[in-house]
Amino acid sequence: MPLTLTFTEGVLPKGSESQAVARITEAFLRHHGLADNKAMAPNVIAQVHVLPRSSTFSGGKEFAGAWIEWKVPSFALADRKVQQEFFAEATEIVHELSGGRQPKNHIYSNAVHTVDGSWNWDGKALTNAELSEVIGWG
């Protein structure tokens, strides 16, 4: 499940991006009841993008922002309670790592649900049912 974190340069202290990835990944797994799942944990992957202030905008004007985006199968981040609790925690993690300087209303998050059958693990495209079986939900 790819996680993409994008920050305007200076939102987080340099070098703390890996802490954000680790803590947000742990929260995602925990909120889905998969904290100790040996199949799922290594398949939660991440990319971090740090952009200059001249490349991030709100209302057409430069600003400092943080974005948390997931690409997940339709069964992940589908439960409303999980959505509310996980995204609140992820926002808090970024806010905390910023030293409290990044306003929570400038930390954005979303999830994109992918097409069933598009998960490629170990060179094999898996359906949601097959993926659920691999992680022990089947």
**Model confidence pLDDT, tens digit, residues 77-136:** 999 999 999 999 999 999 999 999 999 999 999 999 999 999 888 889 999 999 999 888
Domain 2-134 has CATH 3.40.50.12710: no
Q: What percent of the chain has pLDDT over 90?
A: 88
* One-letter-per-residue 3-state SS of the chain: CEEEEEEECCCCCCCCHHHHHHHHHHHHHHHCCCCCCCCCHHHCEEEEEEECHHHCEECCEECCCEEEEEEECCCCCCCHHHHHHHHHHHHHHHHHHCCCCCCHHHEEEEEEECCCCCEEECCEEECHHHHHHHCCCC
Over the chain, what is the mean pLDDT?
Answer: 95
Q: What is the pTM of this model?
A: 0.94
At 15-70, the pLDDT tens digits run 999 999 999 999 999 999 999 999 899 999 999 999 999 999 999 999 999 999 99
